[in-house]
Structure 1
């Protein structure tokens, strides 16, 4: 049940976007830049980072939607649950593990980030642009997790599948067009 009385009982994030387009349209444009713009990370890897951060935050809605989106981009089913449970033993590409450790720490204890944390990402073969992009995905989804939880938005597995397929197919610009119709 959403926390805003103007929203329907089964409100989804799209309903919040439609209700508040002045703040939502720039946010969706930013999503398109961060999640679909040029990056050392693939689209699937960025969705994986988003889902991982959302899982660390226990935001079921964002974790569910972005897990399914990542799977649409080829991330194996079950990988994200394993990564949230223990990134070190999860079947995640070894090159991505330091990135997930970094965004996990940034999510849990942001004031404790150190140059050594960044050095681990660089040692795995990622460059400065990659670290920047990982930080931006992490920051965006920490924001989105709080937005979803603050508005009381929830969904089920069927919606996660629908939304994940939609994001895969039309991206965030497509979602903005859908919201503005």
Structure 2
């Protein structure tokens, strides 16, 4: 159920900022960004810091790999808004949408590294049922060449986008056009999640 607060629950200065963004970009601010401006002290500021660190902070995973993780978690959660946003961002980051499309539709045949494949499998299992992940699952990821630090980084991506996907669905975020997702992806790759 879409809450009217996403359309009108902002201070005048924030509404002016939204207008400026629309004027200069030619597009309205996506609901995911709007939500971070509503009660920023409660959710928005913390969410932006955590998500930016997970997605753009130091990591052995590339930005493209982390965006693919976000798209994969969104796909498991069946969150249309997040699937569109992070599929577009991962495709731009890799410079190849076919890699992303294949990973999301048939992980076994995707042209990605075995460590990333094993990590995505584990994230998928975790997203479906947090209690189902076992030490054997984590040993399988480690055996694929992924380091404990990479597992930690992947878990941070999963946490950020499990939360975002649930909010997107709970608040019925408006879906964007393919051009809107592409523009958002360009912005995320240039500026991150701040």
- TM-score by length of structure 1 reads 0.87
In structure 1, stretches of 5+ residues that fail to align are: 174-181
Once the two structures are TM-superposed, the CA of residue 32 in structure 1 deviates from its matched residue by 1.3
Distance in 1 between residues matched to 2:175 and 2:149, nearest whole Å: 34
Query: For 1:86-144, what per-residue CA distance to the aligned partner results, in whole angstroms no more than 9, with x for missing partners?
Result: 21122332231101101010011211111111111111111110111111111111111
In structure 2, stretches of 5+ residues that fail to align are: 9-27
Structure (1 or 2) with the larger CA radius of gyration: 2
Distance in 1 between residues matched to 2:39 and 2:98, nearest whole Å: 34
The number of aligned residues is 172
Distance in 1 between residues matched to 2:84 and 2:98, nearest whole Å: 12
Q: Which residue of 2 aligns with 1:12?
A: 31
Structure 1 vs Structure 2 CA RMSD: 1.8
C-alpha contact 1:56 1:84 (8 A) present in aligned 2: no
1:61 aligns with 2:60: no
Q: Which residue of 2 aligns with 1:36?
A: 56
Distance in 2 between residues matched to 1:122 and 1:6, nearest whole Å: 44
Distance in 2 between residues matched to 1:124 and 1:167, nearest whole Å: 29
Distance in 1 between residues matched to 2:127 and 2:101, nearest whole Å: 17
Distance in 1 between residues matched to 2:112 and 2:78, nearest whole Å: 20
- TM-score by length of structure 2 reads 0.82
Once the two structures are TM-superposed, the CA of residue 4 in structure 1 deviates from its matched residue by 1.0
Worse-matched range after superposition: 116-125 or 74-83: 74-83
Q: Which residue of 2 aligns with 1:86?
A: 106
C-alpha contact 1:49 1:134 (8 A) present in aligned 2: yes
Once the two structures are TM-superposed, the CA of residue 17 in structure 1 deviates from its matched residue by 1.9
